[in-house]
Amino acid sequence: MPTSSLKRSLALSKVYGLLEPGPVVLLTTSHKGAANVMTLSWHTMMEFEPPLVGCVVSENDFSFAALNATGQCALNIPTVELAAQVVGCGNASGVRVDKLAKFGLTQVPAGLVEAPLIAECYANLECRVVDTRLRSRYNFFVLEVVKAWADPSIKAPRTLHHRGYGLFMVAGETIKLTSKMR
């Protein structure tokens, strides 16, 4: 990350707190010199630390080939200010369009993977593919988050949560209850 960014490295043990609420993410890849981005909601945490994330990237998505070939990607977490870009990326294919350029998303080099990070997203997770046993059947990849970045000034990110057909729930208030649950 450039020094001008507000983002700081985030402990890997805290990554689950970013993904567990179920936000839409922007998955970026880099393959044969071309970066691409897709919109993704089908993901789940699978382990706390090192953080493992399972996700479905359809073989119909242009990103599928890049993810397969490179074994690397980044998960970038947008907030509601990026809603138009999130929908735009979900409705265009990287086969025909340089989506990062078209939607004005700024690429920042990652630390450990080739896939670019999206500067406008409040958090970025650098990932490597670690298990493909369910890929052929379900297009399901298990990713390990190897490096994480987040803007510490954003305490209650107004993340987007896809409900289908253009509807997105926007993260509301946060409540606190007494709990032993991590």
Provide the binding-site residues for a copy of itself, judged by CB under 8 A.
16-17, 20-23, 39, 41-47, 52, 54-56, 80, 83-84, 87, 90-91, 131, 133-134, 137-138, 140, 142, 156, 158-159, 161-182
Shortest spacing between CB 19 and a copy of itself, in angstroms: 9
d(CA 161, CA 48): 22
Contact 118, 37 (CB under 8 A): yes
Residue 29 forms beta bridges with which residues? 36
Shortest spacing between CB 17 and a copy of itself, in angstroms: 4
Is the CB of 95 or the CB of 177 nearer to a copy of itself? 177
Is the CB of 83 or the CB of 97 nearer to a copy of itself? 83
- 172 exposed, middle or buried (CB, 10 Å; 0-12, 13-18, 19+)? exposed
Residue 162 forms beta bridges with which residues? 168
Is the CB of 108 or the CB of 121 nearer to a copy of itself? 121
d(CA 113, CA 102): 23
Is the CB of 21 or the CB of 152 nearer to a copy of itself? 21
Is the CB of 21 or the CB of 104 nearer to a copy of itself? 21
Tell me whether strands 107-108 and 123-131 are parallel, antiparallel or unpaired.
unpaired
First to last CA, the chain: 29
Residue 1 forms beta bridges with which residues? none
Q: Which of 86, 125, 98, 104 is closest to 33 using CA atoms? A: 98
Is the CB of 47 or the CB of 98 nearer to a copy of itself? 47
Cα 105 from chain centroid (whole Å): 14
Shortest spacing between CB 69 and a copy of itself, in angstroms: 23
Shortest spacing between CB 151 and a copy of itself, in angstroms: 16
Shortest spacing between CB 158 and a copy of itself, in angstroms: 8
Shortest spacing between CB 157 and a copy of itself, in angstroms: 9
